[in-house]
Amino acid sequence: MFLIPEPIGRFFHRLASPPHFYALTNRLMPWLVALFLILLISGLVGGLYLAPADYQQGDSYRIIYIHVPAAWMSLFIYMMMAIAGAIGLIWRIKLAEIVAISSAPVGAAFTFIALVTGSLWGKPMWGTWWVWDARLTSELILLFLYLGVIGLYGAIDDKKTASKAVAILALVGVVNIPIIHYSVEWWSTLHQGATVTKMDKPSIHVSMLIPLLLMALAFKFYYVIAMLQRAKLELLQRERTAQWVKKLITEQTL
Amino acid sequence: MTLAEFFYMGGYAFYVWTAYGICFVVLLATMILPMIKRKQLLRKLALKEQRQL
């Protein structure tokens, strides 16, 4: 900690204390929800109404505005979960453990959305709901990893042990992340290659790119909101006997 | 573009609107469920606290 300036260290120390985190979450929530809704509505208007139809895929391509951001989130949240899990494992920070496990259901939701919307896009464009190719299969494995994390955490009663087990599982599963990303280059597939996340200029027109990025940003805010809701529940469950929870209850019933 | 044309989605209405519908329902449920569970937990803890007093 000697490299970190004093006020920043103090900020993180306070943030890691459960009652402070709980109160801060409550104060931030309206702002997070407002930003999320602004981004979501402008993204949807841009994607569904303002952007032109694709010259090959017609209007079916509009599924891209949820499919691609959801798929990005499925990878992003997994990395956040693994990093938070590692921090919890190394420094025994309770809040990091809670962020890790609270990320899992949100990540699973986005992975499910990526798979289902991909299927609904694949049917009219490829002529099939599903193919067992590398991209689709590795994304399905990601869903099972998320469900495995949730199941493992629920199966172990002692939540300290459960957090450790879950962090190790999440870290082992990180190998799947580059496989998903590069699967479209390494193996032949029906799935199209990267359009935005590549070294070259994105091969998408700006009128289609802007709503895509707005939706991606909206989903990032959604992740923070949904993860914090889960974290609040998790924190109360773990700290149900703590003094600050008792204070919270008596304040609410008064 | 008329409203009917907008909902028609160039013939892909079923695929586009089903995708958006499922996305909306799943995201809403993922956010609301922990909020409901938290309310239930707080109520349970408050009852327990009252009994102890």
ipTM of the complex: 0.93
Taking alpha carbons only, the member of A94, A62, A56, A109 closest to residue A226 is A109
Q: How confident is the model over B21-46, as pLDDT tens digits?
A: 999 999 999 999 999 999 999 999 98
Taking alpha carbons only, the member of A68, A101, A63, A67 closest to residue A82 is A101
Instruction: With beta carbons less than 8 A apart as the criterion, state whether A209 and A65 touch.
Output: no
Q: How confident is the model over A24-40, as pLDDT tens digits?
A: 999 999 999 999 999 99
- pLDDT above 90: residue A211: yes
Q: How confident is the model over A110-139, as pLDDT tens digits?
A: 999 999 999 999 999 988 899 898 899 999
- pLDDT above 60: residue A2: no
- pLDDT above 80: residue A197: no
More confident residue, A16 or A152: A152
- The DSSP output letter for A52 is P
Residues 22-51 of chain B whose Cβ lies under 8 A from any Cβ of chain A: 22-23, 26-27, 29-31, 34-35, 37-38, 41-42, 45-46, 49-50
Check if A188 contacts B (Cβ < 8 Å).
Answer: no
Q: Do A60 and B16 touch (CB under 8 A)?
A: yes
- pLDDT above 80: residue A10: no
CB contacts of A121 in chain B (<8 Å) are: 15, 19
Check if A125 contacts B (Cβ < 8 Å).
Answer: no
- CA gap A76, A13 in Å, rounded: 25
- pLDDT above 90: residue B4: no
Q: How confident is the model over A59-118, as pLDDT tens digits?
A: 999 999 999 999 999 999 999 999 999 999 998 889 999 999 999 999 999 999 999 999
Geometric angle at alpha carbon A191, from A185 and A197, rounded to 5°: 60
Instruction: With beta carbons less than 8 A apart as the criterion, state whether A230 and A105 touch.
Output: yes
Q: Do B23 and A230 touch (CB under 8 A)?
A: no
Query: How far, in Å, are A205, B6, B17 from residue A121 at the CA level?
Result: 20, 18, 11
Taking alpha carbons only, the member of A79, A178, A77 closest to residue A135 is A178
Strands (DSSP E) found in chain A: none
Identify which of B27, B35, B46 has the shortest CB distance to residue A253: B46
- What is the per-residue pLDDT for A254? 56
Instruction: With beta carbons less than 8 A apart as the criterion, state whether A120 and B21 touch.
Output: no
pLDDT band of residue A52 (cuts 50, 70, 90) is confident
**Would you kindly state where each structural domain of chain A is located, as residue ranges?**
23-253
